[in-house]
Structure 1
Amino acid sequence: MKSSWYREPWAWLVFILPFTAVVAGITTYIIANTNPDSLVLGDYYKKGKSINLEVSKVKTAQKLGMRFALQLKDNQLVIKPTGIEKVFPLLNVTFFHPTLEEKDFYLALTPDGNGYFRHHFDEEVVGKWKLTLTSFEGDWKIQDTITLPQDNFIDLIPDPTKAQ
């Protein structure tokens, strides 16, 4: 007496394994196309040329002796020039989140009477950030990776190895 094919466990094993692979492949395809990675760049050549330009801006900041100290305490950001006699009319500050592009933000800060640049955040800013400081003219740049909040002042100095 012959039994039906669907009563044999080996038949199910032969069908289930390829079926599982097909379902996993379709699922992977759907996930990859509905959640594109915003950090991947399409034009690497242009990005490479812009990195060289950014390195020259950091080297300019080094030559000019640009140094700042940053503190973020109780949602109050304070950036003060250290060892610089020059007065800046405006400081461009950009915060880049390491993984989520929609969290990036930009501040244009003017100095107070002491020459400090201040900003009060309505919401708490926490975590790891890539911070970029540039002049109003954009002729120099300081870039560093910081963790916020910072109760004590941390130094921000130009370092060409951190320029990107």
Structure 2
Amino acid sequence: MRYVREDSGPWYRQPWPWLLMIPPVTAVFVGMALLRAATWEPDGLVVADYYQEGRAINEVLERERFAASLGLAGEVRFDGRHFILQMEGTPLPGAPLTLRLLHPTRANKDAELTLIHDEARNVWQASVSDLPDARWHLHLEPQDRSWRLRGRLEPGERIARVAAQG
């Protein structure tokens, strides 16, 4: 005759129900974490009107070719609070320039600075209050947007070269 042992304790004192509950409970928590990560910030890489963006590429390339034909290039220095631009070539002396700082993935972190010409030192400069340490794409152009130079400021670096890349 076989003897079968009966457990007389309540179910929550047994290890098997708890071991069987681990995968579904883990899946619920991971799913909630993924849902929060997906909805926390909008995706900065998606362009709403991709057709217009595609058509604008030719215009941007023309502006960069024009900058190259003028022999424009420059060096941007960042000391933590100020951007200082030393230009090669001759853009309009005294005219303010626009420096756009583009974050690679988060459009809400982008910034636009107006660089003012300092005639005594022949540089353009602007102040910035807070700039997180990240890889920044730099776009430099005059107020009339007739030409454009591009560069990249890597994390931890303080000097970036801007030039025509078209």
Match of 2:158 in 1: 149
**SS of corresponding position for 2:117:** coil
Match of 2:114 in 1: 108
Equivalent of residue 136 in structure 1, options 132, 143, 152 = 143
More RCO (CA 8 Å, sep 6+): 1
Match of 1:40 in 2: 46
- How has the CA–CA distance of structure 1 residues 75 and 125 changed in structure 2, closer, same or farther, with 3 Å as cutoff? farther
> Whole-Å Cα distance in 2 between the matches of residues 10 and 124 of structure 1?
53
Unaligned runs of 5+ in 1: none
Matched, 1:55 2:64: no
- How has the CA–CA distance of structure 1 residues 103 and 30 changed in structure 2, closer, same or farther, with 3 Å as cutoff? closer
TM-score normalised according to structure 2 size: 0.72
> Aligned-pair distance for 1:84?
2.7
CA contact (8 A) 2:151 2:161 kept: no
TM-score normalised according to structure 1 size: 0.73
> Whole-Å Cα distance in 1 between the matches of residues 105 and 117 of structure 2?
31
Match of 1:21 in 2: 27
Unaligned runs of 5+ in 2: none
Matched, 1:78 2:84: yes
> Whole-Å Cα distance in 2 between the matches of residues 93 and 85 of structure 1?
14
Equivalent of residue 102 in structure 2, options 96, 99, 102 = 96
Q: Which amino acid aligns with 1:48?
A: G
CA RMSD of aligned residues (A): 3.0
Q: Which amino acid aligns with 2:102?
A: F
- How has the CA–CA distance of structure 1 residues 70 and 28 changed in structure 2, closer, same or farther, with 3 Å as cutoff? closer
CA contact (8 A) 2:72 2:91 kept: no
From the CA coordinates, give the structure whose radius of gyration is larger.
Answer: 2
> Whole-Å Cα distance in 2 between the matches of residues 69 and 44 of structure 1?
32
- How has the CA–CA distance of structure 1 residues 84 and 19 changed in structure 2, closer, same or farther, with 3 Å as cutoff? same
Which digits, 9 at most, give the CA deviation of each residue in 1:130-152, with x for residues without a partner? 111112211211111024423xx
User: How many pairs were matched up?
Assistant: 157
- How has the CA–CA distance of structure 1 residues 113 and 19 changed in structure 2, closer, same or farther, with 3 Å as cutoff? closer
> Aligned-pair distance for 1:32?
1.8
> Aligned-pair distance for 1:57?
1.6
CA contact (8 A) 1:67 1:84 kept: no
> Aligned-pair distance for 1:121?
4.3
